[in-house]
Structure 1
Amino acid sequence: MTPEALANLKELELPGRDGPKQKEVLIVWDIENCRIPVGVPAREVEKAISNAFLYLHRRKKAGFACSISEESLAALSSAYGRPDADYLKTHTKMVMAAGGGKYKSSDTKLLEEIESFVVRQSRDDRTAQSVLVVITGDGDFTKAILQAMDQGMDLEVLHPLGMTSRNLLWVIWGGV
């Protein structure tokens, strides 16, 4: 091997040549609160979210969880076909809502996902290298978001205009 080739190989061994260690990201999408836009297939929405929060930033995916009711899943399948609904099932950790007025059961499951991520990252001393992305306007997520912020995680929240809980807005805007 030539000296030039060996020198090039040595450069590959340099620490940090690929940049800093990438942050781990958990995406939590409350579909019952932030619905899929009308006329846009779920697969395109999932890809857009993943691109915006993972791939464009070269981040590591810790998880992508979403909640949906049986009724909404049936409507999604009816509008875009079963393959689109199946795509969402295979590219996210989908938790099913029992139904009813507030879909509390799916909120609880998504909140457990957040808590588990925060606890795991805190235990491994990785909260500063972690990002929590929450797509909701539901005030039920306020406490979990505060917990992540208190641990030093980066936080990115997308919320529906005109439908977001005041408590959640207060936290997002730094009222704490």
Structure 2
Amino acid sequence: MNIQLTVNGTRHDLDVEARRTLADALRDDLGLTGTHLGCEHGVCGACTVLIDGGPVRACLMLAVQADGSSITTVEGMAGDDGSLHPLQEAFSTHHGLQCGFCTPGMLMSALDLLHREERPCRARIREELSGNICRCTGYAGIVDAVEAAAAEMAVETGPA
């Protein structure tokens, strides 16, 4: 099937099998390997991407279901000049990653949260990220990172 996806601002025309997952299309057809495959059952959250602004488990969605959609992957977070997004910087600064396997999904889920809520409390951050499994960090550094990024992003955008 022929589909069109806009991924990280670039339009792509793909010919995919009807049964191909979005995760496989992103990783194998477009070379965007930041979308990780963990459980392939939608439980771990490692494959989370933003589709038309909302979080989706790319392992559970067929590529044909995303036809015509705008998709943001972890590769799309960086600035045009390659600079890291404040959330990515905060994950590094606050030790919100260790092995890095869950990091792309955590970043996408956290980015979605920060698009919806300017300054979420720690409990809210934990709640929003509860669908993403991390086996290394104990989550404290991740929550610290999201909280710090929210504060920095609020300062950058200024008062509404």
Q: TM-score range by the shorter chain?
A: under 0.3
Structure richer in helix, relative to its length: 1
Structure richer in strand, relative to its length: 1
Higher-Rg structure is 1
